[in-house]
Structure 1
């Protein structure tokens, strides 16, 4: 099982970051680089010393060079879904530094969370003990389009069902990390992290080398080995492909980048076909059998025969081949249910039931409006909460209570009253204060 986490920071290219005890002490937010008495944290001293030694022009030159490398590499994050006007990935040269001791604690907490989500996935598509014992309200699962009844009883070879898990983390004002969301359907971000590292190591090589940065290569080697092992029951030389939605995907650069880095073929649904109970890749040399599919296509769009008939992204008959055990998907179909924000409220009880322990990285405080007490709490405190759809979709958005006008607030309350079980609220945790402004 693999897990990943990351922070994506952007900066203004034509302004030099200022080191800064000069800015005011942040209110209700954690300062990554400075202590409360405005002294640099020990693990930040080296990078600060290096950055202070650079002139304005030297720093700006490095920032422009970083953007030039990203542009030449084709590193984009296309929110507009327009391949003709992609946005070049923005990279802040000042890294977010986490010292080794703290990272080891985070790593252990992430591994524990991934283990829990793996057990949760097995239960929901297996014995469903959590539902039978009332640990999770059944309407959260059965009313969610991400719960695919067609996948009940379908398993992945090996010990784990959840093969890749990404976690969104934020620090609270005390510095404690909290999990605010999970990505289990088609997690992305690892490729951007790798590109970030490559650029930073070229633009500020001395700082990168002197900081003894923990390398990422081990993660990708382990990940590739894990994917290869999934088909070990029938082949020693598995063919692994990356299934992409295509160039209109906002993360298409990463899909192509990872496929090239890992040595996998990048394909779209039209490049694959189901024949004789297996999945085959079309090529100039004929058909070649596919053993493992690392997918970047959401669950519902992967099979037009059994899921969404209007999809242009999937492979008709794919689910039947998965059931027969003749191809492996990473992550398995149906894992999108684990992204439901409503599940976060019940994670402490789920963890106690499945593992007999509590998570070392807590989740952000969450209220599900389908619960009577939570419903009234949310309505009474809406101005200080973040309101989210209980069902996470690519086009869904969150409402920050403290930014709403009175009219918007009343409108949102009416929507919640009409369909309370469709809404979740979370406490607002301001992001950490960066060391440079």
Structure 2
């Protein structure tokens, strides 16, 4: 490569730059390079290290990471019109690097959001002050299938509704981070993130060591200790409740159970006796103090929730009401995934905490309100329109969500009529 085409990274020229043919996408913030095409500070040392390895060694290391995932049997299951398909977990060999100061700001915003969600759930399933003050529409909560009336008025034995959360984040054109969606029902991904880290560490262990990459083991250790501490309060064991091997993320359920050293159970492994949740063992019934559920709450108890559920445990709701077992997350916490709630979070944050959201949500309007409905109808071309009570992410592909700019005149008129009618 000609000297005039060499890029400088960390102050030294690179004769075979990995960025030689790299082209940022116009209008999209690039995480690796700035507007001038130069690597951002947090990336410089990493790119230098990759350059020092050279293409051949780099390919060998990436192949080693891929082989680890194949040997470990990491997979996820996809259900589509063709049926169920098991797929290998795809590995991004180059991780996303976030500078410590920026991550601290993201973390503060997510902690604030988690605390806010905890307060909202405590109110909605408790005194209902937000509804009484007109801040949260009663009709929206009552209509949501994620609002579980059988647990209304029940305070979780652990004192918390939420223990494990996940958030979908994206960076806007202005460089700000936005929350695109929340996962409070039975969030998945932590186990896959850990496997990703193990795989990439096998390939880049020397580089990770030099860059002081934040380790994940501490998070899992603290979470396990918290679960065990909660179980001691109720005198029972800790278990993960899985829908079974046919679930999309069953691999993760089994992996986390092994990694943390806790039981992996299905609904039929459990029974409720004298108001206590018990696991059937060869030596008799043993109490469960904490149940980390990896199935949607509605399926957890066919006696009081969905009667057609074949993966739950009859009587679980009663055991939770009696305070002898803690559900992680609490039954009914999936309410916070409801799309329409995003439009009310800024005001609720000001009301409950006197704070503006540190991380804004993707702009959302609930068409059950006159002004908001008029705004949506007047700006169809800029809107993604979907069911208000859906818990799917706004950008997920489904048959009920429409991109306003892609609608024909007839489709626009039909959708507008439906929105007006439902409002």
TM-score by length of 2: 0.89
Partner in structure 2 of residue 179 of structure 1: 179
Aligned residue for 2:13? none
Q: After superposition, what is the alpha-carbon deviation per residue over 1:15-36, rounded to whole angstroms, capped at 9, x for unaligned?
A: xxx8436444433321101111
Q: Structure 1, residues 46-77: CA drift from partner, whole Å, max 9, x if none?
A: 11112233444433333333222112212112
Q: Secondary structure at the match of 1:145?
A: coil
- Matched residue SS, 2:257: helix
* Number of residue equivalences: 402
In 2: Cα distance, 1:225 partner to 1:286 partner: 26
Structure 1 residue ranges without an equivalent (≥5):
1-17, 422-437
User: Is the alpha carbon distance of 1:411 and 1:284 closer, same or farther for their aligned partners in structure 2, counting shifts above 3 Å?
Assistant: farther
Matched residue, 1:326: 324
Q: Would you say the 8 A contact 1:375–1:420 is kept in 2?
A: no
The equivalent of 1:87 in structure 2 is 87
Alignment correspondent of 1:241 = 239
Change (3 A) 1:254 1:148: same
| Equivalence for 1:425 | none
Residue of structure 2 equivalent to 1:161 = 161
Among 388, 391, 400, which residue is 1:390 paired with?
388
The verdict on how the C-alpha distance between 1:83 and 1:24 changes in structure 2, with shifts beyond 3 A counting, is: closer
Structure 1 stretches of 4+ moved >6 Å: 81-84
Shift of 1:343: 0.7
SS at match of 1:266: strand
- For residues 94 and 413 of structure 1, the distance between their equivalents in structure 2, rounded to whole angstroms, comes to 42
> What's the counterpart of residue 227 of structure 2?
227
Deviation at 1:156, TM superposition (A): 1.7
**Counterpart for residue 125 of structure 1:** 125
Instruction: Classify 1:219/1:416 alpha carbon distance in 2 versus 1 (closer, same or farther; 3 Å).
Output: farther
Instruction: Report if aligned partners of 2:157, 2:324 keep a CA contact under 8 Å in 1.
Output: no
- TM-align CA RMSD: 2.3
Residue by residue over 1:305-332, the C-alpha shift from the partner in whole angstroms, topping out at 9 and shown as x without a partner, is 0000100110001000110111110101
Match of 2:300 in 1: 302
Task: Report the counterpart of residue 264 of structure 2 in structure 1.
Answer: 266
Question: 1:363 matched to which residue of 2?
Answer: 361
Point out where structure 2 has 5 or more consecutive residues left out of the alignment: 1-16
CA distance in 2, matches of 1:89, 1:323: 39
Report the Cα distance in structure 2 between the residues aligned to 1:399 and 1:273, rounded to whole angstroms: 40
Task: Select between 104-113 and 365-374 the one with higher mean Cα deviation.
Answer: 365-374
CA 1:419 to 1:46, structure 2 compared with 1: closer, same or farther past 3 Å?
Answer: farther
Q: Which residue of 2 aligns with 1:401?
A: 403
Query: Does structure 1 conserve the Cα–Cα contact (< 8 Å) formed by 2:319 and 2:325?
Result: yes
Change in Cα spacing, 1:170 to 1:37, as seen in structure 2 (3 Å) is same
Cα distance in 1 between the residues matched to 2:352 and 2:20: 46
Paired residue secondary structure (2:113): helix
Residue in structure 1 matched with residue 30 of structure 2 by the alignment: 31
For residue 410 of structure 1, the aligned residue among 409, 412, 415 is 412
Deviation at 1:342, TM superposition (A): 0.6
Give the Cα separation in 2 of the matches to 1:244 and 1:281.
14
**Higher RCO (CA 8 Å, separation ≥ 6 residues):** 1
Change beyond 3 A, Cα 1:84–1:376: closer
Equivalent residue number for residue 70 of structure 2: 71
Counterparts of 2:414 and 2:255 in 1: how far apart (Å)? 41
The CA deviation at 1:171 is: 0.5
- The question of whether the paired residues in 2 share the 8 Å contact of 1:368 and 1:375 is answered with yes
Query: Counting helix residues as a fraction of each chain, which structure ranks higher?
Result: 2
Q: Which has the larger radius of gyration?
A: 2
| TM-score when normalising by structure 1 | 0.86
Aligned to 2:255, what secondary structure does the other structure show?
Answer: helix
Q: Map of 1:113-152 to 2, 5 A cutoff? A: 113-152=113-152
Instruction: Name the residue aligned to 1:378.
Output: 376
